[in-house]
Chains A and B, each alone.
Chain A
Amino acid sequence: QVQLQESGPGLVKPSQTLSLTCTVSGGSISSGGYYWSWIRQHPGKDLEWIGNIYSSGSTHYNPSLKSRVSISVDTSKNQFSLKLSSVTAADTALYYCARDRPPSDYWGQGILVTVSS
């Protein structure tokens, strides 16, 4: 059974960089066949797809965030990561990582990130 777990700071100051890591267990990122995604949900609101990465390192990003977002993979640790720069209060959200066939068939529990000074 594949499991994903997000980790990282729950509080980030405005203008700083949000950094999250997703640790995958029960399956190997390097085995291929899947994309690995980040999705966020503003409190009580819609789901927003942020981007994904393949085990080779190939990425796709949401153009609305593209200038600020970076997703990377560390196959040796079976982890993938999200960096979002120059954050504002509008980036306060619940951040999920997921395994994509696509679609997203396994999700982490989510991590709430608040942007505040």
Chain B
Amino acid sequence: DIQLTQSPSFLSASVGDRVTITCRASQGISSYLAWYQQKPGKAPKLLIYAASTLQSGVPSRFSGSGSGTEFTLTISSLQPEDFATYYCQQLNSYPFTFGPGTKVDIK
């Protein structure tokens, strides 16, 4: 199985901050990576797929980059509704696996 790690596991930030989350894969996965946002009591919401393609309806302050083994999710200006946990998922090979998550909290 392909293992994903995320860093940091927790970050505290303020509204308006630029936030970057990193996801690393244990082997190359080309651009087969997605990012999700999950709020308490809710199902995950797809933000980005194919490493850098914004899902329809997702604000443009979210962006993704990377390929191979290292990927980043960037929120250019953190908004109050962005405080949540973010997960990456590799879709290169079965079984699809998720990263452990990064919780973004209010400073």
A residues at B contact (CB < 8 Å): 46-49, 51, 60-64, 96, 98, 101-105, 107-110
With A104-B46, A107-B43, A110-B43: A62-B95 Cβ-Cβ less than 8 Å: yes
Within 8 A of A (CB), among B29-50: 34, 36, 42-46, 49
B residues at A contact (CB < 8 Å): 1, 34, 36, 42-46, 49, 55, 87, 89, 91, 94-98, 100-101
Q: Are A104 and B44 in contact (CB under 8 A)?
A: yes
Residue of A nearest to B33 (CB): A103
Q: Are B98 and A49 in contact (CB under 8 A)?
A: yes
**Across-interface contacts of B100 in A (CB, < 8 A):** 46
Residue of B nearest to A98 (CB): B43
Q: Are B44 and A47 in contact (CB under 8 A)?
A: yes
Contact of A102 among B36, B96, B97, B98 (CB under 8 A): B96
Residue of A nearest to B44 (CB): A107
Closest Cβ of chain A: how far from B2's Cβ, in Å? 11
Closest Cβ of chain B: how far from A107's Cβ, in Å? 4
With A46-B100, A47-B98: A105-B46 Cβ-Cβ less than 8 Å: yes
